[in-house]
């Protein structure tokens, strides 16, 4: 957990930008280099952090404008909303904790994934060994964009799943029947708290929180085993990494450890830091659209059907 705690400090210290402005010519060359890597690949690992959802209207870990526009936002009176993302708050103030997570669950259900998701899926479908997703996001947006659940590793869990806070057994179940009603101004759940379907105790989201010794990682562990099996089968894999910053470094670290070329897409922190690949200091949608265009994949409005 030390990495995440370090990240929390960095959320408030946003002076770490090292990306520079690229000239249009340099960007063109980078798009072409990225497309060439993908043309030569037999598979693609899509590694996504919080920045992936920004173009769909979701908050990342940098924004601080408005009550709910960034996780560093505060309630009236100054209490940081992010305090709710802590196991001990679930025990002491469950309506506050579920105010935070319930608001996000509702937001994720209402959010339509931006077109970059569709284009990534189409790029993956052109590959001999297809694609796999590795993400720290708990928002379920890849599933919503049509990625098959068996091709996704949700490394920090999924907000669309619940588990028992009392750990009465190891079950993880869908949150689909939980319809939270939130007083967003106070970050409070005002509808009934969700209950464990076995013992009736409080249910919590199956996501990794701060100081969280209680998280049930069984679902993530299975996904991770599937990912490792896939990684062993591929030969010329390329990583497309999107919106994964240094604040919560799990995705970035994983990309680098594959030892394969990384196309790093990040408007604030696109530096490669010594790994082999292409740096694109852009948002996810803009960069993926440009790469897909060069690959001739998925132009919107075009039709392969005869008129």
Contacting positions for Zn ion (CB under 5 A)? 164, 168, 196, 198-199, 201
Shorter beta-carbon distance to Zn ion: residue 97 or 238: 97
Shorter beta-carbon distance to Zn ion: residue 122 or 199: 199
Shorter beta-carbon distance to Zn ion: residue 73 or 172: 172
Shorter beta-carbon distance to Zn ion: residue 79 or 197: 197
Radius of gyration of the chain (CA): 20
Structure tokens at 258: 């594959």
Nearest approach in angstroms of CB 173 to Zn ion is 11
Shorter beta-carbon distance to Zn ion: residue 106 or 171: 171
Nearest approach in angstroms of CB 171 to Zn ion is 8
Nearest approach in angstroms of CB 169 to Zn ion is 7
Distance in angstroms (rounded) separating the CA atoms of residues 64 and 66: 6
Distance in angstroms (rounded) separating the CA atoms of residues 88 and 209: 10
Nearest approach in angstroms of CB 166 to Zn ion is 5
Nearest approach in angstroms of CB 201 to Zn ion is 5
Distance in angstroms (rounded) separating the CA atoms of residues 99 and 90: 10
Distance in angstroms (rounded) separating the CA atoms of residues 109 and 144: 9
- Per-residue burial over 229-245, b if 16 or more Cβ lie within 10 Å, else e, is ebeeebeebbbbbbbbb
DSSP 82: G
Shorter beta-carbon distance to Zn ion: residue 214 or 258: 214
The helix/strand count (H/E) of the chain reads as 9, 11
Asked if 226 and 150 touch (Cβ cutoff 8 Å), the reply is yes
Distance in angstroms (rounded) separating the CA atoms of residues 230 and 287: 26
Nearest approach in angstroms of CB 198 to Zn ion is 5
Nearest approach in angstroms of CB 168 to Zn ion is 3
Nearby residues of 96 by Cβ (< 8 Å), 6 or more positions away: 84, 89, 187, 188
Shorter beta-carbon distance to Zn ion: residue 122 or 201: 201
DSSP 165: T
Structure tokens at 47: 């590694």
Shorter beta-carbon distance to Zn ion: residue 168 or 218: 168
**How many Cα atoms sit within 13 Å of 240 on the Cβ side?**
31
Nearest approach in angstroms of CB 203 to Zn ion is 8
Structure tokens at 98: 């579920």
Asked if 290 and 115 touch (Cβ cutoff 8 Å), the reply is no
Q: What angle do CA 82, 107, 264 make, to 5 degrees?
A: 75
């Amino acid at each position: 957990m030390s990495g995440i705690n370090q990240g929390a400090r960095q959320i408030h210290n946003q002076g770490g930008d090292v990306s520079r402005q690229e000239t249009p010519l340099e960007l063109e060359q980078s798009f072409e280099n990225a497309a060439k890597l993908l043309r030569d690949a037999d598979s693609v690992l899509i590694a996504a952090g919080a920045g992936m959802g920004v173009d769909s209207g979701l908050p990342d870990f940098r924004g601080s404008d408005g009550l709910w526009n960034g996780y560093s936002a505060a309630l009236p009176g100054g209490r940081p909303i992010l305090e709710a993302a802590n196991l001990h708050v679930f025990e002491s103030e469950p309506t506050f904790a579920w105010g935070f997570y319930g608001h996000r669950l509702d937001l994720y259900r209402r959010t339509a994934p931006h077109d970059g998701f569709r284009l990534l899926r189409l790029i993956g479908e052109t590959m001999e060994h297809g694609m796999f997703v590795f993400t720290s996001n708990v928002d379920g947006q890849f599933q919503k964009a049509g990625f098959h659940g068996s091709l996704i590793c949700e490394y920090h869990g999924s907000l669309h799943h619940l588990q028992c806070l009392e750990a009465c057994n190891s079950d993880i179940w869908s949150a689909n029947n939980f319809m939270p009603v939130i007083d967003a101004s106070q970050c409070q759940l005002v509808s009934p708290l969700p209950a464990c379907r076995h013992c009736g105790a409080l249910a919590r989201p199956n996501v990794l929180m701060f100081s969280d010794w209680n998280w049930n990682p069984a679902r993530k562990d299975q996904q991770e085993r599937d990912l490792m099996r896939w990684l062993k089968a591929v030969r010329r894999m390329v990583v497309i990494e999107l919106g994964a910053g240094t604040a919560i470094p799990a995705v970035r670290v994983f990309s680098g450890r594959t030892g394969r070329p990384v196309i790093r897409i990040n408007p604030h922190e696109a530096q490669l830091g010594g790994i082999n690949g292409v740096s694109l200091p852009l948002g996810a949608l803009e960069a993926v659209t440009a790469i897909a265009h060069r690959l001739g994949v998925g132009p919107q409005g075009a039709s392969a059907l005869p008129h």
